[in-house]
Structure 1
Amino acid sequence: MKTIKGPALFLAQYVSDEPPFNTLDGIAGWAASMGFKAVQVPSWDTRLIDLAKAAGDLGYCNEIKATLARHGLHISELSCHLQGQLVAVHPVYDTLFDGFAPKALHGDPDARQAWAVEQLKLAARASANLGLDAVGTFSGALLWPFLYPWPQRPPGLVEEGFDELARRWRPILDVFDTEGVDLCFEIHPGEDLHDGATFERFLEAVDHHPRCHILYDPSHLLLQQLDYLAFLDRYHARIRMFHVKDAEFNATASQGVYGGYTSWVERAGRFRSLGDGQVDFKGIFTRLAQYDFEGWAVIEWECALKHPEQGALEGARFVAEHIILVTDRAFDDFADAKTDQGANRALLGLGAVQADNACARHE
């Protein structure tokens, strides 16, 4: 078994134009002071990283690692969530998602998608240069407007949607394979990959690509009322990244999982800072240790109530307290009788093994 690495912090919710959050050096010093051991870097934020430069310049990558090392930090992974979202956008969301791309591409869905695909390929090369083995992303969505089966979906609509999604992602996955980096899709509402069933459908559509994996975030599963512990039992072989995020679901007489168009504060299901929600993290960390998860426990702070800096400080302690230092020996080793084959056969009431018989069994 392996001990999970952490705590780490996803920087997307913290980077800003105000010091110390406006430079990699500044935010790294702050994160280290909170107790973090690594940071997950949003690859679209040029205040932290020049993705194109990192994809082609090993010296620049070494500078990034050295900047973090001065504060005792590592990079856990790069995040390409915004670019991944733009790989597949239903036209109804074109205007809303234009903000994820450079202004020069606004209003041009084809150019925006081409940019996003290139960004992901750059992230694969940058990750290899940084010595990282996984990247997090969203899948994007062509089918999300048809999530609820009313009006009745025409035959073949879902199949065509997933076939197209696979056509768009397969060349990207191939680049990740060339670079030796896993691409981890966050299972998330708003994406075509939003639960186990949709991930399985996509995995089949890309022919079980060896680089197609999962970023596990239990908060999104709890808010959909999935069994997020059984999810680990079923999909652990494909889980390569982990966002530690809490949530709560309190159904009322007026709303359930759809939320009734209410704000985050008023929703029946809402994200909470670590320890303030309903997620069973003891069960999660136990299973991740059991299944030899090799990655980082990365806090993604999202809370409708608590200040982000309080969430970071409390979250770092929360994760540190939940990481299981796996044992290197069995608890009953003190009672080991240290028998050999002869003693074992004697305990079974059997005679010694005859040499000729033993040889015959192996012929």
Structure 2
Amino acid sequence: MPAPKRLDYLDGWRVAAILMVFADHFSMNHAIAAFYEKSPLGVVAQYGETGVFIFFFISGYVVSLGCLKEAERTGGFSARAFYIRRFFRIVPPLMLYLTALLALGLGGAIEFGWDDFLSGALYLCNSTAPGVACKWYVGHTWSLAFETQFYWLFPAVFSWLALGKTPRLWPASAALAFAAVPFVFTIWWIGKIGCLIAYSLFFLGYLAARRAGAGWPRLGGWRYPALAGAALIVFMPRSVVASFGADEEMKGALIAWYRLAYIGAIPTLVLLTGAPGTILHGLLSNGVLAWLGRASYSVYLWQQLCNGPVFNDLDVLPQFALMGAMLLFCLCLFPLEQRLVGFGRAAARRRSAEGAQAPGAELAANPAAC
């Protein structure tokens, strides 16, 4: 089963999103934080979570496109093959990162222990579930936790929505329970609204994949006003939103509720920049950006270490040099990462072929039954 053709402009968006995370996490460095406080440019530190939400929509969109194309080609969909592909895409880079952290922690270089390792490895850092411990170095895996919980749930939902199959009760219930963890054990700064936004963006990615650009012609002359309006919502500084609050509690509530507008604005912004022939599409599809975007997963993982407490007292230039070295390290890792992804796709193809040849092969068309 060949991989679907890449949409280079989405890789450009991945770079934009990771830069938003960088700008936010740079504020952990004391010298950069002091600069942010004195400069209007400090507003860039307010978009880290926005960048992650953009990742969520892109993930839902790309994964759904691949599964819809698989169903169109084969008339079915294998959940086991789906999980194999996702495993080799997500787990090896994360385990390399966590293992390196554990070695540093056991050696006394950073504050990191087995509780942090297991919380990150089990994708629970978007929750306050009992026993979960996610200090700084794995704190950012809250986004990976949401993605993984979505991936566990997705085959059952895809089976129902795209194939008209009724999911089996126990596998679907287990996946739903895993996805519900952050709603039950909610982190204060994510909030239940943040959980709602995350899952809404994932499944809006599915709806967008079903239509695959059909909305562009209908917008006509409204395309650019819609794009400008979406950009205004997404990049409105939180400080501006908070300024309408009378006290800290009201300011926090205003920001939390304002984030709900991301549910419509982020898909609009991303999809409209994908319209062929536009300037933004050309910029985002730049070959260098597209290449960097493909390596963004490992970059996202390792930037957390470089912005960690042991480096917070560095001057600005050494901090930037450290981040540059981290980027080169991740780019060197990228070919190995791609080989693992290729291995996962090959294993998934074998699994699909075995399912098609086995007695009762119709189960391969039902992801909840696979």
Q: Structure 1 length normalisation: TM-score?
A: 0.31
User: Greater share of helix residues, 1 or 2?
Assistant: 2
Q: Structure 2 length normalisation: TM-score?
A: 0.30
Higher relative contact order (CA 8 A, sep 6+): 2
Larger radius of gyration: 1
User: Greater share of strand residues, 1 or 2?
Assistant: 1
